[in-house]
Amino acid sequence: MSTQQLPDYFNFLAPGDIRLKGSRIGIETILYDYIDRGHSPEEIAQTYPSLTLEQVYATILYYLQDRKTISEYMRNWIEHGHTMREQQRLNPPPVSEKLRQLRAARRAVKQANES
């Protein structure tokens, strides 16, 4: 680590939105790859070229220093994702509905041509 303090690596935009300074990448992205997908810090840094390996390690250290709080942050992030997907499923944007209709029309034409 450099002479920076750990919080200096992050922008605390809101209680549920912590991002790495100099990027739009949230800590949840790094931690999901590390905790849930089992990726090494080096693999994560290669996946996100806008981040340094030092930033990845800082994020992991931030998690390890306060697992309870950051685990809650991650649970909230996952729950928010589920909620947003369910809302989108129940109220799809007009373009999604139009694409669904186009696909159905193509299938119907294909089936008619095959008969």
The predicted-structure confidence for 34-76, as pLDDT tens digits, reads as follows 999 999 999 999 999 999 999 999 999 999 999 999 989 989 9
Whether the full predicted model's pTM is greater than 0.85, yes or no, is no
| DSSP secondary structure code for residue 26 in this structure | B
87, part of any domain = yes
pLDDT(1) > 50 = no
What pLDDT score was predicted for residue 21? 94
Judge whether 64 lies within some domain.
yes
Q: Is the residue at 80 inside a domain?
A: yes
Range of the domain at 32: 6-114
Q: Which pLDDT belongs to residue 3? A: 62
Lowest-confidence segment of 50-54, 90-94, 99-103 by average pLDDT: 90-94
What band does 91 get if pLDDT is binned at 50, 70 and 90? confident
Query: Strand (E) positions, the chain?
Result: 10-14, 17-20
Domain count, the chain: 1
Q: What is the pLDDT of residues 11-27, one digit of tens each?
A: 999 888 999 999 999 99
Q: Which of 42, 64, 37 minimizes the C-alpha distance to 53?
A: 42
96 domain-assigned: yes
Let me know if 72 is exposed, middle or buried by CB neighbors in 10 A (0-12, 13-18, 19+): exposed
Residue 1 domain-assigned?
no
Residue 2: its pLDDT value, please?
52
CATH number at residue 104: 1.10.10.10
Answer yes or no: are the C-beta atoms of 30 and 56 closer than 8 Å: yes
